[in-house]
Structure 1
Amino acid sequence: MIKGIGLDMIDLERVKQVLEKNPRFIERVLTEKEIKQFEKYEGSRKIEFLAGRFAAKEAYAKANGTGFGKHLSFTDVEILQVEDGRPHVTMPIKSGETVFVSITHTARSAAAQVIIEI
């Protein structure tokens, strides 16, 4: 049974501008493990990665039904790549839930969809 579906989209230029103004934005959005993956990329691919993770985490919060705030923050959600390159939600892990995530990019935006199944 589906618990929730979340979808989010963000403009890459907006992420780039936020990052230029506040380099600590990375630490607000990404976990330590995600930062290690982020640091492997160069140039515009870094912005795509950050924007994709931002969108995926927003989509997760929507699918979870909580949004971000008092009970959930960006760094409470971790999305890592598995060996074949697919994104995988590694936390939070809730008993009995399966989380599906898809992240995509265009030249101008990143989007993500999350489905939580119970």
Structure 2
Amino acid sequence: MTQISPDHQVLTFINVFTVDPENQLRLVELLTQATEGSVQYAPGFISSSLHRSLDGTKVTMYAQWESMDAYLEMRDDPRPLPFFQEALEIAKFDPGSYEVVKTFNHF
């Protein structure tokens, strides 16, 4: 389950893909297949959320991992590779790794 808190020590990836609107649905399908087929079962995986922009030009995946080592081990798994390769053929990938510094809530 996704937990966003500075007290929850996880590695967060916010990966933004820029895509032509006609390829947005395909990109969502590819990332879903990769995640459901193997990524979510990788040791150290915590959660991910997939988002699509309303204008059709972006797909963003918010993912949490226990550590960078766990994430890198998943990247060595050949099972999601074909999905990732096709995704990179139709989208520009802008990855980022983060830690939560502060959260704000409605009172």
TM class, shorter-length: 0.3 to 0.5
Which of structures 1 and 2 has the larger relative contact order (alpha carbons within 8 angstroms, sep 6+)? 2
Find the structure with the greater CA-based Rg. 2
TM-score, length basis structure 1: 0.35
TM-score, length basis structure 2: 0.37
